Structure 1
Amino acid sequence: MRFRINRSSSASTPLPPEDPAPTPAVHTARPHVVEAPLSAHEIELIRASVSVVEPLAAEMTVYFYAILFARYPEVRPMFPPGMDAQRGRLLRSLLRIVDLVDDPESLVRFCGHLGRDHRKFGTLSEHFPAVGECLLASLARYAGPAWTADIAAAWTKAYGAVAGVMISAAEEDEAVRPAVWPATVVHRVSRGHGIAEITVRPHLPYEYAAGQYVSVETPWWPKHWRYYSPANAPRDDGSLTFHVRAVTGGTVSNALVHRAAVGDVVHLGHPMGDMVLEAAVHSDLLCVAGGTGLAPIRALVEEVARRGERHQVDLFLGVRTGAELYGVDDMLRMSQRHHWLTIRGAVSDEYIPGIRGSLPDVLTEYGPWYQHDVYLSGPAQMVIAATETLTLGGTPPDRIHHDPFETPVLSLP
C-alpha cells in the first residue's frame, strides 16, 4: 500500500499526552496515499540520525519543549503543568514512527489514529508546522556534525507525510464524532490489592470493540490522560467497566481508585487498539493475561459469548503469587456457563493447588498453539516471554495479537 498526502505541510511529530496506539477497528478511516514515499536511502538517513541522538534523547526532548513554548506560547495551555511524563511519550511516539517508516500501511494506521486522538487536546492543523520546526531544530542541535542537508530533507519529507495523515484523519473524524465523551460514574467497587472496578455511562453514544482501550481524564487532574481497557463487550445501556490499579505516583489511577464516586463525571477519548476479535482467522483462540491485563481479555471472551460464534477459548492467567489471581472467580463462573472456555493459572513464585510454573513452561506443556489466534495482555516482560515461546512453538507472528509496548497495560515497571 502506498500512501499520499493531499497537502504539503511542515507538520509536527505527534504531541501525545498519552501513549499512542493503533487505529480502532471499529473506526476505520479511508486509506491515505503518499505521492512521494521515502526512498530506502532516506529511510537509512532517518534511522542513522536517530541512532546518533538517542543517547541524548532525554535532553533533546527537554530542549524541544523549551523552544516550542518559547517560540509558540499559545500551545502551552494544551499540556499539563508537569512535563516529565509528556517528554517520554513524545520520544516513544517518535521512535515508533521511525520503526514504521518502511511499513507505509502500519504508519498510516498509526498516524491516522494519532490525528483522531489528538482532537481531545484541541490540536489544530496550524499547530503542526510549529512543532515540526522545533522538532527539526532539536534534532539538528543534538545530532551536531552528523546533521546534514540530506538528513534534514529526509526528516522534512517524513514529517510532512506524518502530519498530513494526522491532519486528514482529524478532519474526517471531526465531521462524524465528538472529540471527547463526558461519562458519569454509575458504579464503583473495590477489588482489593489497590484495584477498583469503575463503571461509567457516556452521555453520548460511544462505539468501541471488545479488546480496545480508552483514554480517561478525571476532573481532578485536567489534561492528564491514562489508558484503560474496558472489561466488557459493548452493552445495550452503553456503559463501560474499567479495572483500575492505583499506581504509585499515578495521578489518574489514584484519583479513580481513591477519589471517584458515583455521580462524578470523567471524559473519554477515542477507543484505540487492534487487539479485536475481527483480527482472528482461526476458530480456536489462546488468551494470556497478567494483572489488570485481564480486562481486555475478559471483554473478548464476553464478545465471543455475545456473538455465539464457534470458538474454543483457552485462557491462561500468568501471575507470580496466588494473591495476584485477581478476577479469577468471575472468569471461572464464565467458564461454567460456556463449555468452550477453559481457564488455567500459571503461578510462578508460590505453590498453590492447580498449575504451578512459569508462563512459558505452562504454555509449552499445554501446546502446541500454531493453529490458534493468540491474544496477550499484561506486563511487557510477560508478553515478550509468551511471544518468544509461542513463536518457537510454531505460532506465526501475525497470529499473535497484543497492543503496542508503549501503552500503559504493556508498560515496563
Structure 2
Amino acid sequence: MFVTSDRRGQPSVPLIRQAAQLRLQAAQLLGYKTNSEFAHEICMAGNPANVHDFESKLLDRLAIAGDREIAELSELKRQDPDDSTGDGKVYAWDVQFYLNRLKQTRYNVDESAIRPYLPTVHVIDQILRFYEHLLHVHVKKVQIPVWHESVDAYEVSDDEFGFLGHIYIDAYPRANKENHPCTMPLRSGFLCADGESRESPAAILITNVSKGSDTQPSLMSHNDLRVVLHELGHVFHVICLRSSYAMFSLMSIEFDFIEAPSQMLENWVWQPEILKRFSKHHVTGQPLPDDLSQAIIAARNVGVPIDGLRRMYQSAFDQAIHNASENVESVDVAQLYSDLRKQIGRLDTGDLVLPAVGIFHHMMSGYDSRFYVYMWGMVFSADMFAQRFAKEGIDNPDTGRDYRREILQPGPTRDAAESLRRFLGREPSDAAFFAALNV
C-alpha cells in the first residue's frame, strides 16, 4: 500500500522539475538570484541564509529525538512474532504501524475506545463554544444559502464591533469534494469607500470526518479533534482580522507565521479539562474517562520527532530545488527526494527509489521555497502557549483578549515579529519547543 501510494506521483515528477525551473526564471527576471531569495524577502525569515541557520540548529536537536524514536520502533519490530526477518530494520512502510503499536503497548491508547466519546456534532459545537470564550465573540447558527445540505453556516459577532462575519463548516465527505482538511477564506473584510461601513469576511472549514450510519452517529478520532481545532483557528483569524484594505487579509500574513496561531491552539487538546468538555459518549452522555484522557496526554509526543524529521527532509528538498541559481531541469528530483527522506527523515525504502515527490502537493500549492514554515511556526506556537496561556491559565479571558488583539486582529497590517513581541512581552524563544520534545 505504501509503495502503491508513492507511485501515484510518477506523472507529476517532470511537472515539479519544470515548475522549479519556471520559478527560477521568474525570480531572475525580477532581479533575484533564486526563487527562495525572492520568496523569503517578505517573510519573517528575510533570506535563505536565515532559513538554513534555523533548520540546521533545529535538525541537530530534532535528530536526537527522531533517532531515539526509531530505536524504539526497531525494538518493537524485533519483538514482533509476525516479522520474519527478526533484524528490527525499520522501513518507511513500518513506521505508522509500529507507532500505533507503541501507543497501544506503552500508553494503552486505543482509538476505537476514544471515538465513541467524540460525536462530531457535539465536538464541533463545543469547539465553537471554546472559541466564543477565548476570543470574546458570539457564534450563532443561521439559515442562509449553502452549497450542500450537510454544510452548516454561522454568524459571528462581538460586543465591540457588532457583526463580524460568517463561517461555514463543511465537515463530511462526498463525491468530488476537496479531501484535504483546510480553511478556505471566502471573502476578505475591509473598510468600504464611505470610510464607515465594512465588508464582512467569511471563511470555510473543510474536513472529511466519517459520516456515520443509521445506527451510529459521526464520530471523531482525537486527531480529528486536533485538526478541527487547528483549522477553526484559521477561520476565526479571518473573522477577527481588522484591516482597512482587502489585500491585508489572512493570506497576506508573512507566510512563515500564518500557521503559528493555529498550531498554538492545538495545545488545548492535551488539557484534561478540555478533553472532558469536548467529549460526550454518544450513548451514555458521559465525558471521556480519566484513564483514557491520561493515556492520550501521556502519548502526546509519540510520532512527533519522526513527523518533525519528515517536515525537515521535505523542507530540505524544497530549498534544494528552489534556492538553486542555475538550471534545475536536469536534477533527478525523485532521487533527491528519496535520498533526503532516508538521510534526514530516517525513512528507508531499501533499494526502491519511489516517485513520492510527485505527491508532495505543497510544491504546487504555494509552499515552494517556504515549506519550512511549519517547523518555524511550531517554535513560535510553543513559545506563545508556554509564555502566556500555560502561566496565566488556559481559560484566562484576559489572555484570550490579548491574543485576539495582538495576534489575530492586526494580521498583516504590521510585522508578525512585532505582534509576537507585544503578545509575549519579550523576544521569542525556542526553549519551550525543545522542552516539549525533551531534547
**TM-score w.r.t. length of structure 2:** 0.22
> Whose strand fraction is larger, Structure 1's or Structure 2's?
1
**TM-score w.r.t. length of structure 1:** 0.23
Higher relative contact order (CA 8 A, sep 6+): 2
